[in-house]
């Protein structure tokens, strides 16, 4: 065996070390799964072995679950992954007691392997995380997780872990009964051996005749309440878009009512059914494989991340960028119009550091060191030694031009200037630069410290080295970079805007605002179009329209809803930031739609459109804009388009992203649907020529990647 070693001591305890060669983390690859039958047979038939301890040879932890590459190939080929459930059950009924020593991560199939052991010892360490995150990528635990976890904890405690996929820390895992013992780090193996010598029960608790499900079966009072609440919460959160959580609920409901072997068969059937869905294919590809590929970047590029970065503008975005840099060890110069304004921006970092120190996530010394890496100043002369300057000022072309000139006056000739703009074309902003080849767009998303996407925008004259250096900078911050070509709104803002604009088009048709926002949430978007307009800020939307009007001149085609937005701003209703927009935001109470909105928009039609039709308009409008971006060369890689959409503006994750959505519908069917929408609602739904050509040829966006 290449992935497991066995050492048996004088007490007859076999220490099985799981250590995949050449990997920093153990995963359940096809090669590992192929060795498991031999491992189990050896443990079973070796008479010298009286008990078994499983442990990891990796400092990173026990096992992170399924191998991403193998899982992706299986999803792409529609070949189901090898059956782990039966293998883990063979380990569980080995006839010899099996304990597992957990250090670091035990996720997905890694935790399912641990659950099939008779005793679980975990290190009492902040590095330990235990969980079943399969639902977050459109799958369900298929190696016993939906059966063993509720049998350990009871249904009411297991369902949130299965349906949300959030990991547990050691203390919570112990309190729930997921692990049996906590010990100091590096003492887990010794504790597991001690249990084997002193107790060493080889029978799982659910295999005993006196076993009773904690909290009661589904038809008991407690069990029924758990399923009623879980089902209601699930529908509210997912709107039926995700097969995986629904199938998890069915697995648990059906499985806990029968013996464990029958329950495992039920789980396997639901796993295979879920694995075959387009939602699973799209989510595994985009949220696992594509994101991983983008995170790694171009390994052939020998670009070193910057050691010192200046941030111009200490507002919300600049303050977030400064904190994110300092967190990753980058020396940061935070510049604003006055030192007081710059210090106010640094307060954001102070607040986050104080919170982390209070929660024990950061030592006081480490927190102080982080803050020392941020120099708040109004003195541009301090930019002289910076490797990169990120401009994060107000969305105004003239102001951004002025900042560029001031930076160039003090910085060296090799300085890279990155503009954090969400809509303004980089080629136009670079006109103020003496070296436009060193000018690039670096579009962060708010809040910077929580949003993990960065859009790198290549202007007409931006050099490839500048793009590479900006990408390396984003990766140094722990962000996922996508590289796009220049366009008004680039890729993310341009596509995201269509979601808001289509909601506003509906408003001008007289469709009730509550129906518009509910339809938006029902598509799988995080919020409705009108809610998001308030969040983004109504006045910002008006200002962006004004900038576009100025840039395009007579070519600009305004829309009727712009007058409504301008009236809202004139009434002081600029959005959530001022407590008034499309919604009112009363203190201490839920937001509610502003009643005065009815006076600004047309009355509702006699017959309201079907909700399904509204959902289709909202999703297709965004996906169509993504297709146009591909057609126009704004974005080339479908992986970047889909990952950027999900991470950047929350495009319905169940689809796998807008291009995956088109592929799942079928390019020909999607084009036909858009043509019908264009007849009903206008040319904004007209498919671009490239998409029509793909539809005619029967090709999809991922055809070339899938073939490779």
Q: pLDDT, tens digit, for every residue of 521-533?
A: 999 999 999 999 9
Position 182 scores a pLDDT of: 97
Produce one character per residue of 619-645: b if its CB has 16 or more CB atoms within 10 Å, e if not: bbbbbbbbbbbbbeebbebbbbbbbbb
Query: Cα torsion at 120, 124, 127, 129 (round to 10°)?
Result: 40
**What number is the average pLDDT over the span 40-53?**
96
For 43, 81, 110, 412, 621, the CA distances from 33, given in Å and listed in that order, are 16, 10, 12, 56, 44
Confidence of residue 395 (pLDDT cuts 50, 70, 90): confident
How far is Cα of residue 174 from the mean position of the Cα atoms in its chain? 28
All structural domains of the chain, each given as residue ranges with its CATH number in brackets, are 4-276 (3.90.226.10), 308-491 (3.40.50.720), 493-516+528-609 (1.10.1040.50)
Position 548 scores a pLDDT of: 77
**What number is the average pLDDT over the span 447-452?**
93
How far is Cα of residue 4 from the mean position of the Cα atoms in its chain? 33
d(CA 470, CA 440): 8
Position 265 scores a pLDDT of: 96
pLDDT at 78 over 80: no
Six-digit token pair at 100? 């597992």
pLDDT at 82 over 70: no
* 571 CB-near residues (< 8 Å, 6+ apart): 596
Least confident of 164-168, 294-298, 513-517, 627-631: 294-298
Per-chain mean pLDDT for the chain? 93
* Structure confidence by residue, pLDDT tens digits, 479-497: 999 999 998 889 999 999 9
Position 223 scores a pLDDT of: 84
Position 72 scores a pLDDT of: 62
Position 560 scores a pLDDT of: 86
Confidence of residue 14 (pLDDT cuts 50, 70, 90): very high
pLDDT at 308 over 80: yes
* 660 CB-near residues (< 8 Å, 6+ apart): 281, 282, 285, 286, 638, 642, 701, 702
Instruction: Decide: residue 574, CB within 10 A, 0-12 exposed, 13-18 middle, 19+ buried.
Output: buried
**What number is the average pLDDT over the span 140-167?**
95
Pick 551 or 180 by higher pLDDT.
180
Confidence of residue 545 (pLDDT cuts 50, 70, 90): confident
The sign of the torsion formed by the CA atoms of 325, 326, 330, 334 equals: positive
Cβ–Cβ under 8 Å, residues 499 and 621: yes
pLDDT at 298 over 70: no
d(CA 19, CA 668): 48
Position 520 scores a pLDDT of: 97
Position 704 scores a pLDDT of: 78
Query: Cα torsion at 23, 29, 32, 36 (round to 10°)?
Result: 150
d(CA 317, CA 167): 30
Just list the catalytic residues.
443
**What number is the average pLDDT over the span 669-676?**
98
Position 73 scores a pLDDT of: 63
DSSP string for residues in 403-472 = HHHHHHHHS-TT-EEEE--SSS-HHHHGGG-S-GGGEEEEEE-SSTTT--EEEEEE-TT--HHHHHHHHH
Position 299 scores a pLDDT of: 54
The sign of the torsion formed by the CA atoms of 329, 335, 336, 338 equals: positive
Pick 708 or 602 by higher pLDDT.
602
* Structure confidence by residue, pLDDT tens digits, 200-227: 999 999 999 999 999 999 998 888 888 9
Position 618 scores a pLDDT of: 98
**What number is the average pLDDT over the span 513-523?**
96
CA geometry: angle at 397 spanning 396 and 400, to 5°?
Answer: 85
Six-digit token pair at 122? 């975990």
Paired with 16 in beta bridges are: 6, 54
Confidence of residue 636 (pLDDT cuts 50, 70, 90): very high
pLDDT at 160 over 60: yes
């Amino acid at each position: 065996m290449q992935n497991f070693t066995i050492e048996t001591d004088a007490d007859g305890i076999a220490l099985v070390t799981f250590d995949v060669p050449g990997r920093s983390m153990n995963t359940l690859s096809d090669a590992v799964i192929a060795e498991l039958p031999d491992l189990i047979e050896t443990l079973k038939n070796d008479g010298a072995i009286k008990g078994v301890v499983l442990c990891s040879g990796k400092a990173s932890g026990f096992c992170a679950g399924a191998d991403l590459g193998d899982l992706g190939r299986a999803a792409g080929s529609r070949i189901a992954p090898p059956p782990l459930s039966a293998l883990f059950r063979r380990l569980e009924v080995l006839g010899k007691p099996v304990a597992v020593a957990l250090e670091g991560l035990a996720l997905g199939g890694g935790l399912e392997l641990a659950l099939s052991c008779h005793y679980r010892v975990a290190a009492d360490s902040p590095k330990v995380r235990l969980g079943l995150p399969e639902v977050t990528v459109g799958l369900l635990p298929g190696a016993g997780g939906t059966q063993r976890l509720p049998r350990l904890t009871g249904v009411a405690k297991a369902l949130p872990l299965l349906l949300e996929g959030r990991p547990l820390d050691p203390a919570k895992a112990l309190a729930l009964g997921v692990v049996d013992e906590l010990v100091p780090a590096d003492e887990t193996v010794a504790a597991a051996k001690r249990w084997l010598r002193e107790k060493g029960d080889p029978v799982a608790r659910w295999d005993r005749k006196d076993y009773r499900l904690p909290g009661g079966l589904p038809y008991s009072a407690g069990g029924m309440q758990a399923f009623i609440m879980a089902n209601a919460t699930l529908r509210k959160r997912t709107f039926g878009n995700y097969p995986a959580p629904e199938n998890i609920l069915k697995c648990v409901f059906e499985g806990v009512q029968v013996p464990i072997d029958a329950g495992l068969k039920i789980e396997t059937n639901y796993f295979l059914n879920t694995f075959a869905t387009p939602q699973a294919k799209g989510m595994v590809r985009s949220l696992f494989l594509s994101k991983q590929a983008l995170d790694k970047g171009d390994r052939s590029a020998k670009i070193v991340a910057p050691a010192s970065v200046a941030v111009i503008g200490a507002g919300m975005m600049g303050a977030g960028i400064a904190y994110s840099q300092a967190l990753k060890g980058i020396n940061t110069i935070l510049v604003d119009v006055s030192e007081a304004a710059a210090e106010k921006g640094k307060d954001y970092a102070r607040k986050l550091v104080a919170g982390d120190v209070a929660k024990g996530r950061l030592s006081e010394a480490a927190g102080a060191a982080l803050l020392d890496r941020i120099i708040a100043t109004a003195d541009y002369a301090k930019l002289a030694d910076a490797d990169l300057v990120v401009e994060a000022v107000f969305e105004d072309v003239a102001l951004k031009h002025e900042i560029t000139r001031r930076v160039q006056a003090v910085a060296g000739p090799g300085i890279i200037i990155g503009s954090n703009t969400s809509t303004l074309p980089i080629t136009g902003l670079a006109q103020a630069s003496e070296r436009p080849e060193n000018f690039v767009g670096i579009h962060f998303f708010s809040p910077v410290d929580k949003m993990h996407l960065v859009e790198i925008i290549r202007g007409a004259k931006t050099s490839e080295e500048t793009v590479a250096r900006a990408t390396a900078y984003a990766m140094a911050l722990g962000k996922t970079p996508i590289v796009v070509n220049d366009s008004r709104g680039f890729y993310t803002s341009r596509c995201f805007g269509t979601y808001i604009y289509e909601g506003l088009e509906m408003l001008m048709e007289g469709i009730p605002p509550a129906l518009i926002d509910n339809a938006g949430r029902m598509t799988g978007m995080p919020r409705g179009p009108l809610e998001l307009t308030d969040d983004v800020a109504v006045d910002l939307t008006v200002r962006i329209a004004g900038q576009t009007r100025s840039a395009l001149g007579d070519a600009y085609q305004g829309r009727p809803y712009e007058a409504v937005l301008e009236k809202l701003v004139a009434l002081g209703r600029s959005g959530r930031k001022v407590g008034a927009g499309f919604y009112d935001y009363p203190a201490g109470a839920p937001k509610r739609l502003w009643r005065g909105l009815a006076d600004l928009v047309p009355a509702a039609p006699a017959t309201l459109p079907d909700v399904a039709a509204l959902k289709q308009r909202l999703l297709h409008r965004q996906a169509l804009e993504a297709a146009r971006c591909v057609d126009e060369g704004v974005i080339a890689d479908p992986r970047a388009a889909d990952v950027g959409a999900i991470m950047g503006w929350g495009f319905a994750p169940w689809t796998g992203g807008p291009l995956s959505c088109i592929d799942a519908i079928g390019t020909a069917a999607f084009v036909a649907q858009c043509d019908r929408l264009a007849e009903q609602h206008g040319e904004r739904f007209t498919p671009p020529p490239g998409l029509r050509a793909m539809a005619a040829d029967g090709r999809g966006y991922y055809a070339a990647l899938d073939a490779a």
